[in-house]
Amino acid sequence: MRVLLLEDEESIRGFVRINLKRNDIAVTEAENGEDALAFAQSEGPFDIALLDVMLPTISGFEVCEKLRQRYPRMGIIMLTAKSQEEDKIQGLELGADDYVQKPFSPGELIARIKSLYRRMNAERQLVPPGDREAAALSEPVADGMGDTSNHDHRDLTSGPFRLSVAQRRLWKSGREVVLTPTEWALVRLLMEREGESISRDHILTEVWGRYYVGDLKVVDVNIRRIRQKLEASPSEPAFIETVWGYGYRWRRGIPQ
């Protein structure tokens, strides 16, 4: 696993570096946002980026937004101040998969990283780091459904949607909808249980892991992001229904 670490405080950066290396995680360090973006371009692809929010020049939020635009399938974890609730929400809305509150323990950080990495690689054979770019380039171009003769038998279909478990991709009416690793896992969970109301607590456990200690808001923010990508009118969702006071449901019987 390769991690890009953006943190301007050397003491924290060193603390994180030591614990990543103890867990056989390769780490590239950046002390400002400009360097982080440059490293992502010159030394990538990285599996996961750890981004501090408060930085001397461009903020971690801006770095998050740019990384998400350029590398939609990269895992992103924000390092936020415990007292700043708005930091968590803003990071998630910009495309982060998760956040870790400062101060954090080494065990918590490593657990979050490994949990996200499992979500990113749950359904495919792990590709050695040096081969990832070639593997990504060898995937079918997302210009429609493509050749249907080799579709994985575990594909899920619902109305205009087709989700490929093997390829970890989603299409709507033949056009690919690019999802983050967490968004993909969440959509898969809902589609697999089409028509069933799923609680926020259960979604949190299934997608983020049994021992996740974050806020339930992480579910709501990700649902909001997904609706922006899937729904014609996100404020009046036709596919992902809200079960008020409980959770969410993928609507059964969606028309083509």
159 and 220 together in one domain: yes
101 and 173 together in one domain: no
97 and 148 together in one domain: no
Residues 6+ apart with CB under 8 A from 112: 77, 98, 100
CATH at residue 167: 1.10.10.10
Which pair of structure tokens corresponds to residue 229? 């990508």
Give the separation between CA 127 and CA 1, rounded to whole angstroms.
10
State the pLDDT at residue 168: 87
Q: What is the pLDDT of residues 185-227, one digit of tens each?
A: 999 999 999 999 999 999 998 998 876 767 788 899 999 999 9
115 and 7 together in one domain: yes
More confident residue, 190 or 104: 190
Residue 133 located in a structural domain = no
* Angle (CA) 32 33 37, round 5°: 125
| Residues of the domain holding 11 | 2-121
Question: Phi and psi for 9 in degrees, rounded to 5?
Answer: -85, 115
176 and 71 together in one domain: no
- Of 88, 121, 154, the one marking the end of a domain is 121
**For residue 159, what are the CA distances in angstroms to 53, 110, 178, 235, 255?**
40, 39, 18, 20, 5
**For residue 9, what are the CA distances in angstroms to 5, 6, 61, 106, 126?**
11, 9, 17, 16, 33
Give the global pTM: 0.76
Residue 15 located in a structural domain = yes
Domain count, the chain: 2
Residue 129 located in a structural domain = no
State the pLDDT at residue 147: 36
Is the pLDDT confidence value at 60 over 50?
yes
116 and 153 together in one domain: no
Q: Give, as one character, the DSSP assignment of residue 130.
A: G
Give the separation between CA 80 and CA 83, rounded to whole angstroms.
9
Is the pLDDT confidence value at 10 over 50?
yes
State the pLDDT at residue 83: 63
Residue 127 located in a structural domain = no
Give the separation between CA 65 and CA 61, rounded to whole angstroms.
6
Residue 39 located in a structural domain = yes
State the pLDDT at residue 90: 86
Helix (H, G, I), strand (E, B) or coil at 111: helix
185 and 219 together in one domain: yes
State the pLDDT at residue 145: 34
Taken as a whole, the chain contains a residue count of 256
CATH at residue 99: 3.40.50.2300
Rounded (10°) CA dihedral 181, 102, 28, 13:
180
Q: Give, as one character, the DSSP assignment of residue 53.
A: S
